[in-house]
Amino acid sequence: MKAVRLYGVGDVRLGEEDAPAAGPGEVLLKVTSVGLCGSDLHWFSEAGIGDAQLARPLVLGHEFAAVALEGNRKGKRVAVDPAVVCGRCRFCLEGNPNFCLSHRFAGHGEQDGALREMVAWPEANLFPLPEALSDADGAMLELLGVAIHAVDLAHLRAGMRVGVFGCGPIGLLIVQVARLAGATQVVATDAMPHRVEKARSVGATEAFLACRGEEVAQIQAATKGEGVDVAFEVAGDNAAVETAVAAVRPGARVVLIGIPSDDRTGFQASVARRKGLTFLLCRRMKHTYPRAIQLVEKGLVDVRSLVTHRFAIEDYAQAFSTAVKREGLKIVIEP
């Protein structure tokens, strides 16, 4: 089978490998669609992400859909949860599997991901794809799950004002989920004009180009000087964190989803302290796949228009180049 492996900074190679064998409780899958995530780009550009560093050539890819090649689901299309947890530790038993201390995650650390033609994965992590959803839609469910979890963390209530700082695919999904949760005003910012425009088209009531913090005055004007009730930082950039802190009202929640390149997040402490802000960090997702599937199946969330580029696995180099340049929105590779 064909597989794409990361060997070092900017060094990805396509090679031929043996197909994996399914272990106990696993199913052999034919991978049909893989999204390139911001975290994949950290691995590609830095040969690591935070304190996790490349130890051996790694197959990236954790946003994926597939077809089961064996077992009770043979021939069926599925979306795949990339996190394999133990189910026995304190965190799993408390209902927080995203904190499992002995988990495996596709395309991270020692665990190969989905940028290959076939993968063996636990059957418990497979979710049937409704006929109305395409394979690329299925690959988008993982990041929609993250967006849902982030909104859950924010304790968003009907009538609130929301700020979304960073309008990549997850930010654009948060815009949509926040509106569904009852936000009456969603203000979005991004440094790229095409993403600002897309934010407007998916439900942002106002969207501004991020430029040296000048957008804070625009946000304050749009909220009549009150600021937003909840902020979601999805850019992985300290400038966006600073803007979020400046744009929220006193007593607000700030949810940090973005992953900074230098593994450091900073903000003006005096402003955050005087406002009495609560910061929450979003750790992947938990128990959100069924909700994500329903939202897409019922047409309540648009994931399809966020997929702007599709590449065959042989065109992996162009796919990574397009993603690194932040061209379009979601880049998908179809093995």
pLDDT of residue 213: 87
Helix 193-201 / helix 169-180 crossing angle, nearest 10 deg: 20
Q: Determine contact, residues 312/17, Cβ cutoff 8 Å.
A: no
**Cα separation, 333 vs 238, whole angstroms:** 30
User: Which pLDDT does position 261 carry in this prediction?
Assistant: 86
Local structure of 277: helix, strand or coil: coil
Q: What is the pLDDT of residue 92?
A: 97
Nearest-5° Cα angle at 307, 305 to 312 = 145
Ordered by where they begin, the domains of the chain are 2-129+303-334 (3.90.180.10), 146-281 (3.40.50.720)
Q: What is the pTM of this model?
A: 0.97
The parts of the chain modelled with pLDDT lower than 50 are none
Q: How far is CA 261 from CA 48, 50, 165, 265, in A?
A: 10, 8, 17, 10
The Cα 50–Cα 260 span in angstroms is 8
Please, what is the end-to-end C-alpha distance for the chain in angstroms? 10
Say how far residue 312 (Cα) sits from the centre of its chain.
22
Reported as a single tens digit per residue, the pLDDT across 193-232 is 999 999 999 999 999 999 988 999 999 999 999 999 999 9
